[in-house]
Amino acid sequence: MKLSILFLLLLVIVPSARAFQIQPMVQQMEALGKESNTSYRLENTGRSDVTVEVSAFRRFLDVKGKEHLQPADDDFLILPPQAVVAPGQFQVFRVKYMGQEDTSKSISYRVDFRQLPVVSELEDTGVKMLFNFSTLVFINPHDGKVEPKARLQWRNKLPHLLMTNHGTEVMVLGEWQLELRTKKARQQVLGELLRKTAPASFVMPGRTLIIPLEGELAQSISQAEIINVRKL
For the chain, give the mean pLDDT. 88
pLDDT tens string 206-216 = 999 999 999 88
CA distances from 186 to 10, 48, 173, 224 (A): 62, 56, 21, 9
Domain ranges of the chain: 16-140, 148-231
Mean pLDDT of 45-67: 92
- Say whether domain 148-231 belongs to CATH 2.60.40: yes
Q: Is the pLDDT of residue 128 over 70?
A: no
Q: How high is the pLDDT of residue 64?
A: 81
CA 91/CA 46 separation, integer angstroms:
14
C-beta of residue 115 within 8 angstroms of C-beta of residue 126 = no
Beta strands in the chain (DSSP E): 20-23, 26-30, 37-44, 50-61, 67-71, 76-79, 82-85, 90-97, 107-116, 132-140, 148-155, 158-165, 171-172, 176-181, 186-190, 202-203, 208-212, 225-231
C-beta of residue 113 within 8 angstroms of C-beta of residue 54 = yes
Lowest mean pLDDT among 5-19, 47-61, 74-88, 200-214: 5-19
Output 175 or 3, whichever has higher pLDDT.
Answer: 175
Binning pLDDT at 50, 70 and 90, where does residue 117 land? confident
Binning pLDDT at 50, 70 and 90, where does residue 4 land? very low
Q: What's the alpha-carbon Rg for the chain, to the nearest Å?
A: 23
Output 126 or 131, whichever has higher pLDDT.
Answer: 131
| First-last CA distance in the chain | 63
Same fold, 16-140 and 148-231: yes
pLDDT tens string 64-99 = 888 999 999 999 999 999 999 999 999 999 999 999
Return the CATH class of domain 16-140: mainly beta
Q: Is the pLDDT of residue 36 over 80?
A: yes
H/E element, 121: helix 119-123
